[in-house]
Structure 1
């Protein structure tokens, strides 16, 4: 188990030094649920179904992570305030990010999200939210509005899904 964790840590650490590459759009990626997502342009405005996934944006964008975040849940601010304070000092723009509700609990306001300025290009969600978003038609609704939903998993099957989640999101966002 320790060996797997070391390999995972080294792999994710290597991804931290990722650089931009010339991505061709439209592009289709497959997320960890097996769903194909087609992006017609390079996403710039990113929303997070859970603020605790902000480190993913750091992996993908490095020092520019805060520049791309337009919305997130307030879970980090409420449940891990010291973590939020650290990120807020490093990325003051987090304070301007719109707050969204929890999808899996039915607290997400799709209309407000779709009409948000700037409009999100991508919403990154976890497995629990993906199940609810699929069953309620939220994914279909957001897709029709031009907002792509990508499922990433860092909680349920951490070892199995982390590398694939990071790689899929990085590729979709035009990063290598």
Structure 2
């Protein structure tokens, strides 16, 4: 285990220690993932979610109904992950009536929509902090005495995922539930890291994020030091995107990949509904047949047959949503198994996913495809 990951595992152990069998006492003061001190006068009963994917974190905390406190949100699930949204609606149909609030990618917020819901808390993504400051949103919310807590599963997914869950556990008076999942996460990460530490060489890895989403004429968008980049490193891979990109994300030409010849090639996919999508339909509502049918066109793109990873059958597909997801430990397990198949023969990431669903949430335990080897057609 590298010093970085040793330190993170130790930090997670410390984070989960001493938080069992506790209840929040209000007013409660917390430090959010942005390092801000936030005080909540009472347990929030009316919440606005800036990014709808964070409902999956609430599913770990408010288990009987993660939507119970949500009075307004930006339902990105309906567009970006319709399969999981359908599953959530099947269990909690009233969620379809929650007010939509406009949150743009440049930090603009539909303030009238937000204020109308009389929220007692807004949960927001860390990457939006500077945007909200620049657009004056933070000042407006402060004037309205609406607390904001920033969480993160993407900018630094391994370090911030359990920290975000424990943070919200304290904010929402769900410390026991938060500690239970954080302990599970830490145990699984430690097991992976211990096995990786015994390996002699780290494979070079390239991840094509959103593979095929914009059609078959585009390649190859990737992550550097964020999201999939950090998950690859946590699973014992050497992320080529980190050395190729000056920014957190960007495009790498196929010619560059042919020169570097990564040992492993990853393609992330999801059930996107845009017309031009040729993506691998990973996630809920898909089938093995649909997943396999999507491989051929992607593998026939220019240059692919010359990649070493293609020739050695080391091309893999994985559920894209794990790049910003509280269950990203499942992605770490999938990647570790892909990188070191002989070291992880007994590891079953799909079982880990279902264990999370059954043990820590009330989300229906229906079939979901989270990872798969990409088979030549």
Contact persistence 2:38–2:147 (CA under 8 A) = yes
What is the TM-score with the length of structure 1 in the denominator? 0.82
Alpha-carbon distance change, 20 to 43 in structure 1, aligned in 2, over 3 angstroms:
farther
Alpha-carbon distance change, 106 to 33 in structure 1, aligned in 2, over 3 angstroms:
closer
1:37 aligns with 2:38: yes
Alpha-carbon distance change, 37 to 156 in structure 1, aligned in 2, over 3 angstroms:
same
Q: CA RMSD in A?
A: 2.4
Contact persistence 1:72–1:97 (CA under 8 A) = yes
User: Which residue number in structure 1 is paired with residue 122 of structure 2?
Assistant: 123
5+ residue gaps, structure 2, are: 176-377
The structure with the largest alpha-carbon Rg is 2
1:69 aligns with 2:65: no
Cα distance in 2 for residues equivalent to 1:76 and 1:41 = 29
The structure, 1 or 2, with the larger RCO (C-alpha pairs under 8 Å, 6+ apart) is: 1
Cα distance in 1 for residues equivalent to 2:138 and 2:37 = 12
Cα distance in 2 for residues equivalent to 1:19 and 1:97 = 32
Cα distance in 2 for residues equivalent to 1:132 and 1:103 = 10
Cα distance in 1 for residues equivalent to 2:42 and 2:21 = 15
Cα distance in 2 for residues equivalent to 1:110 and 1:20 = 38
Cα distance in 2 for residues equivalent to 1:147 and 1:130 = 15
Alignment of 1:85-124 (within 5 A): 85-116=86-117, 119-124=118-123
What is the TM-score with the length of structure 2 in the denominator? 0.40
In the TM superposition, what is the alpha-carbon distance from 1:20 to its structure 2 partner?
8.6
Alignment of 1:128-167 (within 5 A): 128-167=127-166
Kindly tell me the number of residue pairs found equivalent between the two proteins: 163
Which has a greater percent of helix?
1
In the TM superposition, what is the alpha-carbon distance from 1:21 to its structure 2 partner?
5.0
Query: Secondary structure of 1:64's match?
Result: coil
User: Which residue number in structure 2 is paired with residue 82 of structure 1?
Assistant: 83
Query: Secondary structure of 1:150's match?
Result: strand
